[in-house]
Structures are given as structure tokens and as C-alpha cells.
Chain A
Amino acid sequence: MISLTSCSNKYPLKRLMLALAGICCCVLSGCASQSVGYPLFSSSVPSWGPKIAVYPIENLSGAPAPLRELQEELAATLQRAGARIVDQAALDGFFERHWVRYVGGIDEATSAALRDETGADAVLITNLELYNEQFPPRIAMMARLVSTVDLPEIRWMDSYARTGDEAPGLLGLGIIDDPVRLRGLGFEYLEASMRKFIMNPPEREHKASAREIRENKPFTISDLMDKMKDEPRQSAAEPVNGRPWFSQVGELVSYRYQPRTWYSSHDVLDDQLRSIALIPFLDLSTRKYGAEVLVLHLAKQLVLDGRFKVVELGVIRDKILVSRIIMTSGISNSNIDVISNSLGVELVINGKLFDYLESNTAGQNPKVDFSLQMFERDTRKILWNSHSRNQGNDGVFFFDVGQISTASALTDRMSQSLVYRLNENASEKR
């Protein structure tokens, strides 16, 4: 019989090696959460992709932030990675000439002028959602690439949200206490995601454009009358397929971030390529710019989904300002007409934000509560209506597993679940 002590005494070197390997593994596991996942380009790598005009970062955090520093870091990250960027001096000159003050989006006229004067193929618009340098540092930001060809359209969109103590790892080795490092990780993540999109654009199913079909179809009074009929749509019973059997029994297990209640007209929306306009939401929350942030997250999920063409938010803002539309308690039929006719969109999304609470050091969980409605252009009927409400600790039972630490990440999950549910109910293959 070989005893454990005799065995260990026999191989002291092997034991030492194993212990060292174990320590190395522990250290690596602590660092693992910080890796970006894509190798960085060196300065020797030739530049790639379209020529991008990097807009100054828009601060939606509701608190002061070092925007100039962040802007420089973003530009440096993109340059280091080899992206073709419009010269900063040329961009500043363009801003001065055209009196560009709003940097949270781009309208049609500015986009065309930018393309003509600087040769930019796309604009990178970045929004800062959350910034806090106090320990644990917190950052949340979102970036989108908008094409400057024809009507500006969002091509790529991604977000990054993280707190310094989100992934502490073993012995707290994964804790990030330096805000500069944290935001560096954020910029690297966004750059890698954008590069991945440009290098390997996702393959989308080719669909006929709903706008072309509509414009080529001859106008008849009977068609118009059919569309204007006042009969409301009656929805069928909600299908529960695609859910595990145990969740269907007494709603024991529900999807964590899906809308609490929803209505769908069950109209098929994925047979043609439809355009969507996201109208600014009514903000009833206490968070400054909460509604803007929510709209950005919804836009991101719709862009990632790829079934709809998402009109650039700056274009919608410009049309609303030009048309003098004021919505005090939601969108009306006349507003839908004005927006859909001026933008040529088939679907209009509007909603209300009730709560957008960030987490804080006192143990407050992030909380988001909003409702959303989607309208059809011709009939002006509601195709989708839902109410979503979640907290960062929803579905968390053991040791904070699955805990969400920022309202940004929570909104992202809720929006993702909402878009999934919307598509499930409006799909041809349902």
C-alpha cells in the first residue's frame, strides 16, 4: 500500500511544480475577465474599412465626465487599431462651418455635407451613459456607426457597461480600481466589435424593400379605405411554444427580462425589409436623459437583430424639430402621419419611461420600468404594446450569480428580450 505521505515525499519537485501551476492558473483566472478577445492591430498594420468621422462623445450620464480625455482615448484606440479616421482638424473645421452643436446624432443635411467635404463614409457616434471614478469605478457607453450614403442609417451598434468590482475573480484579483484602465477596456471592446463588423459583416437575408413595394404600387381609393377601417385587430391566444414545459405550468419559471405584459396583433413583419423610426420616449423617470438611453438600447437590439432598417436617431430628431411636433403624452395619429411620410418609414415606435435607477454604493439595485408601442404607418394601429419592468437582482438566488450591476446592462437585456418576443410574434415562420 502506498501512503499519501510517502508518495508526496517521493516527488517533492512534482508537488512544487503543481503548486506553481495552480498559482499561475489562479492569477490567469483573475485576469481573464479583462481580456478583450480580439488581438489588437499594431501601428504597422495597414488601415482598413470605410473612412470614419469620429464625433465628439455625447454625455448622457447626467454627471460631469472628462469628455475631452475620453474623446482622445477613443481616437487613439481607433488609430492604433488601423481604422481610417477623418482628420480631427478637418472635422473641427466642418463643425465650425456648419454650426454643428448636436453630437448625439446626425441629420440628413449634415450627413451629406460631411460626406462631400471630408469624404467620410460613416460617422461614429458615441454616447456616455455612466461615468464614475469613485471606487468601484463604473462606466457605460454606447457607440454606433452611421452611414452617410443617402438617408443616414445605423449600420453597427454596440455598448459596453461595467463596474470595477463586477468580476472580482479569485482573491479579488479581477477587481479594477483604476477608471482609466476600465474605460480603456471599454474602448478596446467597442473598437474590436466595430472592426469585427466591418471585416466580417453579418449576412442578412435578402428581402424586398417595403418602401419600394409601397411606392411602386398604384394608389386606389378602395385600398385606402380598407386600411382606414376602424375595426380593431383581435389577437389570437398567446402562443406558449418555445418555452420549457415546466415554465408553462402555473408560470413557475418565467423569462427573466421579458416584458411583463404584451399585446401583439400577430401581423407578419419579417416578409419585407421595413424601416423603423424610434421616436423619443416620454420620460417620467428621475434620471436625466433616461429616455434617450433607453431608445439607444432599443435601437441597438433592433440593429443587431437585423430584420428592420433602423433610421438614424438624429434624422428623426431633426424631422420632429422641423415639423414642430410636441408630444406631451405620447404620439398621436397625426404625428405618425407626419413622421412616417417625411421619413418614409413603415413602423413607428414610441413609449414611456417610468423608472431608470442606477445602482449605488448603498446597495440599491438598478431598476428599469418602461412601456412601448409600435404603430403601423398606414392603419396607424398598434401592432405591439408591452410593459417591461426589471431589477438588477431579478432571478438571483445564490451568491449574486447573475446579478446585474448597471442599469445600462439591465436595459440591454430587457431590450434584447423585448425584440426577441416582438419577432417571435411577428414572424412568418411562427
Chain B
Amino acid sequence: MEQRHKKKQSGLFGLVCAALLGLVLMACGGCASQGDLFRDPSMDFGAIRTVAVMPFTNLSRDQLAGERVRDVYSNALMSTGAIYSLPTGEIARAISNIGLSNATAPSIEDVVKLSKALKADAIITGVVREYGDVRAGNAAADVIALSMQLIEGQTGRVVWSASTSQGGIGIMEKLFGGGGKPINDVTEKAVNDLINKLFE
């Protein structure tokens, strides 16, 4: 009888342990930041030295958001000193020369043609999903959501893809009000996050 009771107790303990372990695992899964990152393991990223940052798809309300973010990203990429970002005027000329109809989302053939025309190792495309202020109750703050892709110039394969979201209404804004950080600061933060993901 006593043995059966002990067995029952140890079974309950095991169940509790398993449940706790499950909870911890779930929590860890929620914290994982690698979910929005793809890196082609067979790609030698060190070989990429010249890139063309294409105009970004703008899904936000701000008409200039794509151009603003592209400029900040291109500047930040160059300031790392590891990658040379081609001038936007030269990219525009190449786009018009090869007759690219949709510069924000080029096809594989277009990428190959474009990289040949620009002598670029890779092409970067991006999407600005959100740019501007968000409101929740009385609180308001600037937010940005971006995603980017690095496409190899020779094959047109996507070798890196990442997304980020910065700013928005946090606990501080909810408790104390205020507008959070300015959109330009949030943009720089998001861009730096993406660059870190590219170089990590």
C-alpha cells in the first residue's frame, strides 16, 4: 500500500516537472530571436563586397518612408566599412537601361541582369511594412517594421533574409505617456539591428 502511494507521488512529481519543463521551453521559444532570420549555410558572405540596395517596397502611409529607410540603410551599410553600397543614381540608371518594370521586387533573371550591369555581388531588396506613429488609448509612439533580403547576383538565390520591428508603445509609454523615441532614432535602431543580423 505504502509502495503504491510512493509510486503515485513520484508520478505526480514527474508530471509537475514535465509541465514546468514544457513551460520553460515554451517561454524560451517565445524569446528566440532567430525565428525571423534566414542564412544560407552554403553561402560565403565574405565574398560579397559590392551591393546594390534596390528601392524598398513601401506599405506604410508615409510616401517617402521607402526612400528614407533605403538611404539610412545604405549609409549604415557603407559605414561598417565591409560592404560598398552602389550610388542610388547608378542603380536607377541600370534599372532603366535593362527595362526593369518592378524595381522593388525583381525576378531571378532581372537580378542576374542587374548585378551584371552594376558589377554588384549581390542585390538587396526590402519592404517597409510599418513606418510612423501607432496609438493605443492615450499613448502614442513611433514604430517601424522592416524586412530585407540579400540576393546573390550570379544565381539570383536568396541567401539572407531578416526582419525587425522597433519602437512602438512599451510599458513606459503606457504608464507615463509620452511619444516614445522619434521615428528617425527608431529607424536607425532597426537598421542597425538588421545589419547586426547580416554580419553575425
Contacts and interface: CB of A to CB of B under 8 A. Distances in A.
Given A230-B119, A233-B84, A385 B89 contact: no
Contacts of B87: 330-333, 373, 375, 382
A332 B93 contact: yes
A106 B165 CA distance: 49
Interface string A346-361: 0000101010000000
A220 to B, nearest CB: 23
Interface of B: 49-50, 64, 67-68, 71-72, 74-76, 78-79, 81-82, 84-85, 87-93, 119, 184, 188
Nearest to A237: B81
Given A260-B188, A331-B87, A371-B75, A234 B82 contact: yes
Band of interface residues on A: 35 or more
B71 A385 contact: no
Given A263-B75, A389-B184, A330 B82 contact: no
Which 9 residue pairs spanning A and B have beta carbons closest together? A330-B89, A232-B84, A235-B81, A263-B78, A332-B93, A330-B88, A332-B89, A329-B92, A331-B89
SS class, residues of chain B in contact with chain A: helix
A127 to B, nearest CB: 26
A400 B138 CA distance: 29
A262 B79 contact: yes
Contacts of B119: 230
Contacts of B85: 385
Interface in A295-331: 327-331
Tell me which of B72, B88, B91, B188 has the highest count of chain A C-beta atoms within 10 A of its own C-beta: B88
A276 to B, nearest CB: 17
A354 B71 contact: yes
A177 interface: no
A387 interface: yes
Nearest to A375: B87
Interface string A231-265: 11111111000000000000000000000111100
Interface in A370-418: 371, 373, 375, 381-382, 385-387, 389
B78 A382 contact: yes
